[in-house]
Each structure stands twice: as structure tokens, then as C-alpha cells.
Structure 1
Amino acid sequence: MSGRVAKWLAWSLFGLFVALAVATPVLVAVRDGNASDALVATGIGFALVGALVASRQPTNAVGWLLLVAAVALGIDTLMSVYVSRATLPGAAWAGWLNSWLLFVWLYLPALFLALVFPTGRLLSRRWRAVVGIGVAGVAANIAGTAFAPGVLDIHADRPIRNPLGVSGLVGDAHSWLSGAGELLAAGTLVLGGLSVFLRLRRSHGRERQQVTWFAYICIVALVPFVVLALVGLVAGDNVPPSLDVVQVIAWWSLVVLLLLGLPSAIGIAILRHRLYDIDIVINRTLVYAALTLTLGTAYLGSVLLLQLVLDPLTQGSDLAVAMSTLAVAALFRPARRRIQLLVDRRFFRHKYDATRTLAAFGVQLRDELDVDALGNDLQAVVRDTVQPVHMSLWLRSPR
């Protein structure tokens, strides 16, 4: 495929997604559908980054994966709005599409991006078997859902039977097929994570920074996913109001990280815009996550402790809350400084050593009088902290 054809195809797919994203809320307003179905616009990150990557690097499979996933999301959401009125013409076929397109726009980036990111190629030919497992998992899920007899599992104002349902198969073959697809997809997902880990270990320089961006957003997205899993495990179907707030926050955090954070990280990595800021981003994430956890724990602990101490003297808890707030505010700066030093010492040792070296050189600079010795010390400091390929020191000659 030539560069001109690839660019035309990439931006045509992007235009198709934009048309679907515009048509969906219009159809929601006309048909009085569910407003949440108009959230197809959140996939604009996948479509835009996919078009940029595919038009600039046509041989990179990452861009085409993002574009196909975005267009499938747009079609799936439009069909879900259309089928909400089952009396419309072609509603059965729209519902049929809506029943299985989920496995295209969700599984494509989830299963295959990790295998080919960032170069668009697999680690080696042996990983083709993993791609085959993933394709088989997606195909099994689609076949098990698209040809299952009976009523479609979709949201509509009345039940809609599957127009392509195949009955008369031995036992519950469709359920077994879908279960096998889920198992194969789970195996591909695990192997994709292993591929990212191996690529991170083997890569150097620019590619290592690219993989670090991708791994960073995936690890951050695991936090709300684990929270949702724990809430579901603890509360089950009867979620109390306190945990319901946590569940909503975790759910929307996961949506934002996957639909906006993931394509942003991919775009930064492949298009190399502010690529080397990943170390700063990871550093800030570790510092402020630990700081939030520390201050939150200190606040809750102090509120409970002060309420126990002040309860005989005061009837309300306003004094305990006020004192705890002031204590946490006073603790913010020293806690952030200590946590920053701890993170630098544990995870960014090179930065920590460079800071100590510069501080020691500043002390030595006040006491050094010999220009030659000072020049040698300066070159040693630059060599240890900046690590340049070549270095020379120019001194102004005295008149």
C-alpha cells in the first residue's frame, strides 16, 4: 500500500467514526434513547491517534488496530440506539450486529496491541501462535453469540429473536463455544502482558521509553480494575451507598484511562511527542499516590482518635475534623519532601545520586581556590551526572 493510499484510507476511517459519533446523539434525541449510548465520542482518542499513526507509518499495525476498534465502537453504539425501538425496519439485523460487535472493538486493542506495540511487529515468529490463539478466541466468541438461537441479549423495548440463530445443535454448543473463546482470549491477554514485559527488558533507548509509556498506563488502569473486582467480591449485587460511590469513581476512572489515557500514551510513544517525560510522569505518580494514601490515612486516624478524646468534652465532631484538617495541612510539605526523597532513592537512584553529587560539589566550590583542581572536579561532576559522550572545558585566559 502506497503512502498516499494509506493516508487516504486512514483519514477516511477517521471521518467515518466522526460521522457515527455525530449521528448517535442525534438518533438518541430523535428516538428518546438512553443518553449514555452517546458516549461513542469518548472513542475519539482511538480514532485520532490511529489515523495519525496509520497515515504517517502505514506499515505499523498499531494505527490500523486503533482505527478498526474505533469504527467498530461507533457502529456498535449506533446500532444499540437504533435497536432500542424494535419496531423500526431492520431492527433485528441491527440487534444482531450489536450483539457481537463488542468483541471487535473491545478485544482488538485489549488482545493484540500489547503484542505488536510499538513497532507494529511481533517479538519473533514464535509469537504468531499467540496471535492465532487470540483470533480463535475472538472468532469463537463472535460465532457463539452471533448464531445462538433464541432472543438476542440486547436492550430493546421488546424481545428480538436472532435472525441467524442456528438451532438443533448438540447440547448447549453455543455456550461452550463462547466459553472457549473467553478462555482463549484470557490466555492471549496474559501472554500479551508477558510480551510487553519481555520487550521492556530487551529494548533500549527510544523503544524502551515507548514501551514504558504503554506499560505505565496499563499498570495505572489496573488500580480501578482491582477496586471494582474487590467491591464486587465483597458486596456482591447489594452494594452499600458508601461502596457505591467508590464503585462509580473506579468505573469512570477505568473508562477515562482506557478510552483517553491509553490512546494518548500510544500517540506520545509512537509519534514521540514529549516521549522522554515518562520518567517525570512515573515519579510524580508514585509521589502523589503515596502522599494521598499517607495524608488520607493520617486524616482518618486523627479524626477517629480526636473524637474519642474530645467526646466527653464536646457533643459534636466539628472540632475533631477541624483539628485533623489543620494537622494534615501542616503535614503536607514535609511529607511530600520525605516521600520524594524516598521515591528517588528507591526507584530513581541515578537522579538521587546526581543530586547528592551536585550538593557535594557546591560545598567544595566554596572552599576550592585552585582553578585547575576546580576544573578537574567540574568535569568529574558533569561526567557522573550528565554522562556526555564528549566533554571539554574552556577557560577564559587572563588579559
Structure 2
Amino acid sequence: MMEAARERGLRDGGTRASFWLAWSLAGLCVAMFVASVPLLVLARSAHIPSSWEANLTVGNLLGGAPFLIFPLVGALIASRRPRNAIGWILLADGLLWMFLGMTDYYAVYGVARPGSVPFPVGVAGINNFMWVPAVGLLGTYVFLLFPDGMLPSGRWRPLAWLSGLVIVLLCIGVGLAPGPLQNLGGIRNPFGLEGYPWVETATYIVLPLLPMCMLASVFSLVIRYRRSRGEERQQIKWIAFAASYVGLLYLIAMVFAFVFPSGAWFQPGSPLWLDLLGYAALISFTLVPIAVGFAVLRYRLYEIDIIINRTLVYGSLTISLALVYAGLVVSLQFLFRALTGGDSQLVIVASTLVIAALFNPLRRRIQSFIDRRFYRSKYDARKTLEEFGARLRDETDLDSLSEDLVGVVREAVRPAQVSLWLRPPGRIDTNEELRP
């Protein structure tokens, strides 16, 4: 009895410690983001080269705000499920993203105003390689350990060790590679080993191993899904939905990248919608921790099938309409230019009207295709009920209706057995009042 009470006390104490640690780290992330605001203002007020100004925009700062979801969801999971490694990984990833954003402005301001802050070039050198663990942790261990914080089996342990080794080697390689710093053009890496170019070569050799580890981690999630049942399968669907949505947005961004040069993105004078698409693709990464939080904490898991269905439909519809629109604009402008020697806004208007006319017919066709391809049983059941409803309007024979109803239930629901009971005509309902 005393031993059980002692164990319970230790467990409660550990839970409280985990709670305070998790939310303290989340608070640190928020503090780093808040500190980024005055650092951005100070950096913009300094005299800096024009090549450094690309990262000193308000849009860039606001684009980092959604990444606070990483530490907040991580703290929520770690405080409630302290033994689940997923929460602590999201917290670590949040710290890394916030550190990257804050130190960008810190380094620029420190270099532009010498003596204003300590070690600005050294901080920039650390910032130069911190993207590796930020991307690596999210792309490998979150997928490898989801949803319970454990490996699918002991056979995946070598991949876990290899992923950690690759992340460490890349941090060392990028950190020690000689050359200019990415965000401070003209200033060389303070930790770079000048005279040892093989360091950069070795880093490029190791670099492809990181996406390979990411793909292997995603494959482990596929294996886990095939072996899972019930709630765990629904949990995996959440993160699969998030990853698919990220891929969809980047695919759309890549399509438009062929139409618009990369230099036009996030530049003064670039179209607003193009910048919004770029920010949407970047911020879509935050869907992963949101999906993880919903799945691990088991909030409304079973609505994910509806969300996936709608995403497939409207994602396919968006890509199709975007391709049609781009094709119409390019081809009609080319034709109009050949005939008149100039561009016309009429082409934009006509293309928009065509897209509006295609929306509903194309949506219905895509919905029907997706239902047939991915939701066959539900599609067949719905078609069966629709056919029965059509027959019901014309059928008057009770025996035929009974046979049809039993057949519909057997085909749509597929029960182990089915029977139909009808009250005999003329039988008195005992709930009705008897009249003399």
C-alpha cells in the first residue's frame, strides 16, 4: 500500500515537472518571437546592403508567427502525455524555428551597427546550420515515432540512429564549411575551415541522406497504417492528410513557378496573390503539428474521412482549374498578340468566365471519380439507395417491395443476416384507445 502510494506520488511529481518544463519552453519560444519585433525594427533602421533587405520585411516576420504552433502543440502534448516523445520533438522544433527567425534580425543589426550587440557574426554562423535539425526532426522522427512516441518495431531502430547521425554530420558539415553566410552576403562563415574545401564536398555527399531518411520515415508510417486498426488508423490519417496538403500547396506553387520567375517571389512589385501563395506553401508546414495534436489528444478523430474526401475533391479541382486558367491565358494572349500586336484584358475576363462555368460540372465529375476510386463501398451503397428510391415511386406490390428492401439492406449494409417483419393487416395496436 505504502509502495503504491509512493509510486503514485513520484508519477504525479514527474507529471507536474513535465508540465512546468513543457510550458516554460513554449514561453521561451513566444519570448523569442516577441524579441524579433524590436530587432526587426532596429535592423531596418540601420544602413544595410540592399541584398540583406529581402529577409527584413514585415511579411517575413508575420510568416514566422504560425510556427509558434510547433511549441504550443508540443507543450500541450508533453504536459498531458509526458512519455510520448512527439510532444518534446515538436517543442524542440519550435525552439529551433524561433531561434532561426530571431537570430536573422539579431545578426543583421549587430553587423550593421558594430558594438551594439555581442557576437553578431558568431550568432549568424550558428544560424547558418540550425535549419538542419529544424527540418530533420520534423521530417524524420515525427513520422517515425507517430502516434505513440515509439518505433513501429525494433527493425526500425537502425533508421532512427542513422537519421540522428545524418543530422549531426550535416550540422557539423554546414557549420564548418568555408564560404559566405547565406543571409549576410559578403561576410564569411566565422566557423568555416578555410583551406579545407573537402568539408563542403563531404557535406554535399551526406546531404542526400537526409531526404532519404525522411522518405524511409514516411514509409514506416505507411507500414504502421497497414498494420493498424481502429483509433490508431484514424490517428495516422490525420498526419497523412496534413502531409498531403503540404505537398498539394507546394505542387501548386511549383506550377506557377514555371509561369513566373523565381526572382518575382516576395519582391517589391510582385503580385499580391503570388506572395500569398508562397506564404501559404511555407506556412502549410504548421499543419503537421496541428494534425499531430488532434490525433495524439484524440479530438474528433473520425471526422478525418470527410476532411480527406473534401481535400481530394477541392485540391484536384483547384489544380485542374489553375492549369486550365494558365493555359487559356497563355494561349489566348499569344493568339491576341499575334493578331493585334498587344495584350488585352479581355483575355483575362474571358478566361475567368470559362473557369466559373467549369467549376460545378468539373467538381461533380471529380467527386464522382474520387467516390468510385477511394470510397467504393459508400459509393455503391448510395447508388443502391438511389435506385431503390426510384423503384419505390412506381412499385405498389407489398411483396415485391419487401424483397427489394431486403435486397437493398443486404447489398448496402452487408449484415451477417437480415429479416423483415411486417405487422399483419387488421392487427390492433395496443397503444391505441379501444372504442366500443
Q: Normalised by the size of structure 2, how large is the TM-score?
A: 0.74
**Structure 2 residue aligned with 1:346:** 373
Q: Which of 14, 20, 23 is the matching residue for 2:26?
A: 14
Q: Secondary structure at the match of 1:213?
A: helix
**Does residue 257 in structure 1 map to residue 284 in structure 2?**
yes
The change in CA–CA distance for 1:51 and 1:377 in structure 2 (over 3 A counts) is: farther
**Distance change >3 Å, CA 114–CA 77, structure 1 → 2:** same
Check whether the contact 1:83–1:155 (CA below 8 A) recurs between aligned residues.
no
Establish whether residue 222 from structure 1 lines up as the match of residue 247 from structure 2.
yes
Preserved CA contact (<8 Å) 1:98 1:154: no
Q: What's 2:306 paired with?
A: 280
The alignment partner of 2:128 has SS state of helix
Larger mean Cα displacement after TM superposition, 181-190 or 8-17: 181-190
Shift of 1:4: 1.7
Residue 123 of structure 2 corresponds to which residue in structure 1? 94
Matches within 5 A, 1:322-361: 325-326=352-353, 328-361=355-388
Q: Partners in 2 of 1:298 and 1:147 — Cα distance? A: 48
Alignment check: 8 A CA contact 2:29 2:94 kept: yes
Relative distance call for 1:295 and 1:21 in structure 2 (3 A) is closer
2:293 to 245, 250, 267: 267
Distance 1:65 1:383, change over 3 A: farther
Which of 41, 44, 50 aligns to 1:29? It is: 41
Is 2:141 the counterpart of 1:112? yes
Equivalent position amino acid for 2:98 in 1: G
* Cα gap change, 1:323 to 1:122, in 2 (>3 Å): same
Equivalent residue letter for 1:159:
I
Q: Give SS of 1:276's match.
A: helix
Preserved CA contact (<8 Å) 2:74 2:87: yes
User: Which residue matches 1:193?
Assistant: 218
Aligned partner of 1:159 in structure 2 is 187
What do the CA deviations read for 1:163-206 (whole angstroms, capped 9, x no partner)? x55567xx534213422431321221121121122122222222
What TM-score do the two structures reach when normalised by structure 1? Answer: 0.81
Partner residue in 2 for 1:172: 197
Equivalent-residue separation in structure 2 for 1:327 and 1:232 (angstroms): 23
Deviation by residue 1:227-275 (Cα, 9 ceiling, x = unmatched): 666777898877799xx869755532321211x2222222222222232
Q: 283-292 vs 60-69, which deviates more?
A: 283-292
| Distance apart, 1:356 and its partner CA | 1.5
Aligned equivalents of 2:306 and 2:276: distance in 1?
A: 25
- Give the Cα separation in 2 of the matches to 1:394 and 1:256: 57
Q: Which moved more, 1:73-82 or 1:43-52?
A: 73-82
Partners in 1 of 2:201 and 2:26 — Cα distance?
A: 36
Tell me, yes or no, if the aligned pair for 2:73 and 2:90 is still in contact at 8 Å.
yes
Aligned position for 2:52: none
With over 3 angstroms needed to count, the CA separation of the structure-2 counterparts of 1:135 and 1:320, relative to structure 1, is: closer
2:86–2:142 CA contact under 8 A, matched in 1: yes
Deviations 1:207-232 (A, max 9, x none): 11221221222223223444666777
Does residue 154 of structure 2 align to residue 128 of structure 1? no
Give me the whole-angstrom Cα distance separating, in 1, the residues matched to 2:63 and 2:325.
37
The answer (yes or no) to whether the contact 1:140–1:177 under 8 Å persists in 2 is: no
Summarize deviations over 1:318-345 as a string: whole Å, max 9, x none: 7776666555544433333333222212
**SS where residue 216 of structure 1 aligns?**
helix
Deviates more, 1:174-183 or 1:3-12: 174-183
1:145: Cα distance to partner?
2.7
Distance 1:74 1:112 in 2: 19
Q: Which runs of 5+ in 2 are unaligned?
A: 1-10, 46-55
1-structure distance, mates of 2:39, 2:385: 63
The 2-side partners of 1:94 and 1:307 are apart by 51
State how many pairs are aligned.
389
* Residue of structure 2 in register with 1:58 after alignment: 82
Whole-angstrom distance in 2 between the partners of 1:247 and 1:358: 45
Are the structure 2 counterparts of residues 388 and 70 from structure 1 closer, same or farther at C-alpha, using a change threshold of 3 Å?
Answer: farther
Q: Does residue 73 of the first structure (1) align with residue 97 of the second (2)?
A: yes
Residue type of the alignment partner of 2:41: A
Q: Deviations over 1:129-168 (max 9, x none)?
A: 11111111111111113334x5661434873652x55567
Q: Distance in 1 between matches of 2:290 and 2:417?
A: 35
Aligned partners of 1:194 and 1:326: how far apart in 2?
Answer: 43
Check the 8 A contact 1:141/1:177 in 2, yes or no: no
Whether the 8 Å CA contact 1:133–1:184 is kept in 2: the answer is: no
Aligned 8 A contact 1:38 1:77 in 2:
no
C-alpha contact 2:381 2:412 (8 A) present in aligned 1:
yes
Deviations 1:276-331 (A, max 9, x none): 2222222222222343455556667777679979x99xx99677766665555444
Q: Secondary structure at the match of 1:122?
A: coil
Inter-CA distance 318–75: structure 2 relative to 1 (3 Å threshold): closer
Decide which structure has the larger Cα Rg and report it: 2
Query: Partners in 2 of 1:235 and 1:301 — Cα distance?
Result: 14
* Distance of aligned partners of 1:253 and 1:166 in 2 relative to their CA distance in 1, 3 Å threshold: same
Give the secondary-structure state (helix, strand or coil) at the position aligned to 2:299.
coil
